[in-house]
């Protein structure tokens, strides 16, 4: 997924991005993950934001913009005809949706058809939507920090796309699995000092609110390696905000981390 990095016009090659991101916390829609008949997880389709664009700021990466908008970076690159190594430039406008007619889900511009008269319905009580079973990642995850859980993942809630682990300032924040750092910076609103690690073509993890980042973009890291110091940048207390994302979509980290 990643090449050596993403560059802006004013700087050297930056490691391919901010995982699929936010203020990533621009609202992501919840998507059910299905498995194919072969047992291989089907790729989640990005949710286009028709009519919306993102203006590239200095220091932005394609990965970061995709991450904060809940879009798979490969889709964002395809929609804007950007090839590897995904170089973008300050001032550039990126479309957050495919060109007209590229997908069947694109809004129609034709004349509206007469709506059929709906059958009479009676009020019903909507049953709660069950949480889908997690997709197997094939990755041996480990806890990124010591401390007690003070925030949990809530599907569909743009402010609770991961878990929060409380601790003390300066304590180690560790990589949850082997991977490559694709983002190390403070440019995503709401995350403070943030690190994003790519573990495979479809899986990423994010570590926010650090006091100090200890790794750079493009750097390989090992599971358990210290990558940051816990802090409270962008947060009201000393804690680590931790996310796991599959094809850019947040999943519940507690379904993947070992019990403790």
> 82-128, pLDDT tens digit by residue?
988 788 988 899 999 888 755 433 333 344 444 444 445 554 455 54
In a domain, 45, yes or no: no
Concatenate the DSSP letters of all residues of 72-96 into one string: -HHHHHHHTT--TT----TT-EEES
Q: What is the DSSP letter of 211?
A: E
**Domain extent for 204:** 148-255
Instruction: Give the chain's domain count.
Output: 1
| Dihedral, 218, 139, 167, 197 alpha carbons, nearest 10 | 20
In a domain, 28, yes or no: no
In a domain, 142, yes or no: no
Which pLDDT score, from 0 to 100, does residue 31 have? 32
In a domain, 137, yes or no: no
CATH code at 249?
2.70.70.10
In a domain, 190, yes or no: yes
Task: Please give the residue that has the higher pLDDT: either 243 or 122.
Answer: 243
How do residues 157-194 score in pLDDT, each as one tens digit? 888 999 999 999 999 999 999 999 999 998 888 899 99
In a domain, 238, yes or no: yes
In a domain, 188, yes or no: yes
pTM: 0.61
In a domain, 224, yes or no: yes
């Amino acid at each position: 997924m990643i090449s050596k990095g993403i560059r802006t016009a004013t700087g050297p090659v930056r490691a391919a991005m901010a995982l699929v991101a936010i203020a990533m916390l621009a609202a992501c829609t919840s998507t059910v993950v299905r498995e194919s008949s072969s047992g291989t997880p089907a790729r989640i389709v990005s949710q286009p934001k028709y009519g919306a664009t993102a203006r590239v700021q200095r220091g932005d990466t394609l990965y970061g913009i995709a991450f904060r908008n809940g879009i798979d970076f490969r889709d964002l690159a395809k929609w804007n005809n950007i090839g590897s190594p995904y170089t973008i430039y300050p001032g550039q406008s990126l479309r957050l949706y495919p060109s007209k007619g590229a997908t069947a889900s694109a809004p129609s511009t034709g004349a509206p058809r007469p709506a059929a008269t709906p059958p009479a319905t009676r009020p019903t009580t909507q049953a709660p939507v069950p949480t889908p079973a997690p997709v197997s990642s094939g990755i041996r995850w480990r806890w990124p920090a010591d401390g007690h859980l003070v925030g949990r993942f809530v599907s569909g809630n743009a402010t609770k796309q991961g878990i929060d682990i409380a601790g003390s300032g300066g304590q180690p924040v560790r990589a949850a699995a082997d991977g490559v750092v694709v983002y190390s910076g403070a440019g995503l609103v709401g995350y403070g000092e943030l690190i994003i690690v790519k573990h495979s073509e479809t899986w990423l993890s994010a570590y926010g609110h650090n006091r100090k980042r200890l790794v750079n973009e493009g750097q390989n890291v090992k599971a358990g390696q210290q990558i940051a110091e816990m802090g409270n940048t962008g947060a009201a207390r000393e804690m680590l905000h931790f996310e796991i994302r599959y094809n850019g979509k947040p999943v519940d980290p507690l379904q993947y981390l070992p019990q403790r």
